[in-house]
Amino acid sequence: MKNIFVMFVLTFACAGYAFGECADADKKALEAFDRAWGEAGVKGDRNALMTVLADDYMGLPAMQNKTQNIEAAMKTAERDRANPNMADKVTHDNYMITCTPNSAVITHRNIVTTKNALGKEETFWTRSVHFLEKRAGKWQVVGNAGNGLDESAMLGYIELDWNTADRNKDMSWFEKNFAADYSSISSRTAKIATKTEDLADMKTDKSVTEWNDLSNMNIRIDGNTAVVTGVVHSKGRDDKNQPFDRRVSFTDTFIKRDGRWQVWATQGTRIT
């Protein structure tokens, strides 16, 4: 059964056809608008929030109107200024944006780092969906919905993070997210490798992944283990600087340890 995360992505992608595809410049401008909105909330900038939120704004699931949302933001900012060591730290990524000249939908992940009653840092993820309209030539938020992520959605985002780490050759991501007893089977050589061996190969690999994309993801969870299957499509240049265009069916096995999901094993099969 397809998980909620994949259904959400597919629904959002279909909505993109109805909205029309944004130009990259439009998407960058909307992302910048969204990040400025977040900063205004953190700083408690009432004037900026008054401009960002439409008069008929409604936020879900709390059913907050514009005034209620701004007052809540002011109280949070005041509390954090009084006790900055206990303030939550929030970052946003994995933006998906669609728009027409006068309407837009923005969704992204929120990575929230907080401290519990004992002062220990804890991290959790949520997802936000914002609905915008252009009024009098300026974007305003007319609606907002947010929710915590279930285990399936978290695993879906980890797969997206994996793709990003591959493009950026982010060794720290693999060191953190591959379990100590991780193993892999290469889709190109059929080689069986350990975490140490795979990391060593990555450090000397001269190939470049310029673009990659996930599809057909299916996520199954049983207790502290999970299996994710899907297809990854990658384009780039190999270690001889020759272009490649590969589609690989994969099976990734995860295990939950120390309160977080880690990659336990991965195997790929090249689609010819």
Q: In the chain, which residues fall in CATH 3.10.450.50?
A: 4-148, 171-270
One-letter amino acid identity for 59?
G
Q: pLDDT value at position 20?
A: 54
One-letter amino acid identity for 91?
T
Q: Name the band, by pLDDT with cuts 50, 70 and 90, for residue 5.
A: very low
Q: In the sheet that 53-60 helps form, which strands lie side by side, from edge to edge? A: 64-65, 53-60, 138-148, 121-135, 103-115, 89-99
Provide CB contacts within 8 A for 161, sequence distance 6+: 173, 177
Determine the straight-line distance between the first and last CA of the chain, rounded to whole angstroms: 26
pLDDT digits (tens, 9 = 90+) for 26-35: 999 999 999 9
pLDDT digits (tens, 9 = 90+) for 241-265: 999 999 999 999 999 998 899 999 9
Tokens of 83: 């006790």
Coil, strand, or helix at residue 137? Answer: coil
CA dist 90 and 210 (Å) reads: 28
Question: Hey, what CATH class is 4-148 in?
Answer: alpha beta
Does the pLDDT of residue 93 top 50, yes or no?
Answer: yes
Q: What is the mean pLDDT of residues 52-56?
A: 98
Coil, strand, or helix at residue 196? Answer: helix
The architecture in CATH of the region 171-270 reads: Roll (3.10)
Does the pLDDT of residue 17 top 80, yes or no?
Answer: no
The DSSP string of 204-245 is H---EEEEEEEEEEEEEEETTEEEEEEEEEEEEE-TTS-EEE
Residue 104 near residue 97, CB atoms below 8 Å: yes
Tokens of 225: 């283990």
